[in-house]
Structures are given as structure tokens and as C-alpha cells.
């Protein structure tokens, strides 16, 4: 059973509809495996990673986690993001805060966990 499965995923950013970031992209990622994703700038690497925890939704195709299609409802994404996280390569790309510590603590604090 793959941990993640991409089945014919298609995604194009609104400003780049003529050149999709992902087109008919399929991939199985087995549980426990280490993979490397390499490619030129603009080849779809970041778009691929943003699909892993539902930050973006494919325009066509299916992304599965543990043999279930991703549930893009608020509660479905919350459950997924408790199991799957992203750490950006550059601090300037952080989502919420000025420091990594504040960024990392954002999720647990919003779940009601103590700061300790």
C-alpha cells in the first residue's frame, strides 16, 4: 500500500493555464521509502509538494493518502495535516511567523497543546 498516490493529477496556476505545472502526473510513494524530487526550475516540484498536505487541490486526477482520496473539507485537511507537514527550504517562505520556532509552534498551540 503506498503512503501517497498521485493518479493522473493535473494542476495549472491561474496565470499559467497554457503551461500546466503538473499534467497527467502519476506516482506511488511507498510507506517508509526515502525519495528525492529533482528537476529544473518550473518543473512542478513545489506544486507536487503542495498537493501532499492539501494546500492546493488538483484540477483533475486524484491524490490519495493511505489508499484514501484526500478529503478537502476543513476537518479532512485538519486530520491530514496532523500527519503530514511541510518545511520550506527558505525561511522567507515561512507561512506565518518571523522565526522557525514560532512557525513550528503554531500548529500545536492552535490544537490547544501547551507551550512546553
**Local structure of residue 9 (DSSP, 8 states):** E
pTM over 0.85: no
Would you say residue 10 lies in a domain? yes
Instruction: Show the domain range for 46.
Output: 2-71
Contact status, residue 103 vs residue 110, Cβ threshold 8 Å? no
Number of domains in the chain: 1
- The span from the CA of 51 to the CA of 7, in Å, is 12
User: Is residue 96, in this structure, part of any structural domain at all?
Assistant: no
Find out whether 58 and 10 touch, Cβ atoms under 8 Å.
yes
Please report whether residue 33 resides in a domain: yes
Whether the Cβ atoms of residue 59 and residue 10 lie closer than 8 Å to each other = yes
For residue 23, the domain's CATH number is 3.40.50.300
In a domain, 65, yes or no: yes
Q: Residue 82 falls within a domain, yes or no?
A: no
pLDDT in tens, 28-77: 999 999 889 999 988 999 999 999 999 999 999 999 999 999 999 999 99
Amino acid at each position: 500500500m503506498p503512503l501517497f498516490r498521485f493518479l493522473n493529477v493535473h494542476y495549472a496556476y491561474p496565470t499559467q493555464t497554457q503551461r500546466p505545472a503538473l499534467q497527467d502526473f502519476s506516482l506511488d510513494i511507498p510507506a517508509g521509502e526515502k525519495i528525492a524530487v529533482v528537476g529544473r526550475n518550473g518543473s512542478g516540484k513545489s506544486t507536487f509538494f503542495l498537493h501532499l498536505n492539501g494546500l492546493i487541490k488538483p484540477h483533475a486526477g486524484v491524490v490519495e493518502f493511505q489508499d484514501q482520496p484526500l478529503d478537502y473539507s476543513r476537518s479532512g485537511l485538519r486530520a491530514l495535516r496532523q500527519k503530514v507537514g511541510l518545511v520550506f527550504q527558505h525561511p522567507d517562505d515561512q507561512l506565518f511567523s518571523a522565526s522557525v520556532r514560532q512557525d513550528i509552534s503554531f500548529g500545536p498551540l492552535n490544537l490547544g497543546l501547551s507551550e512546553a
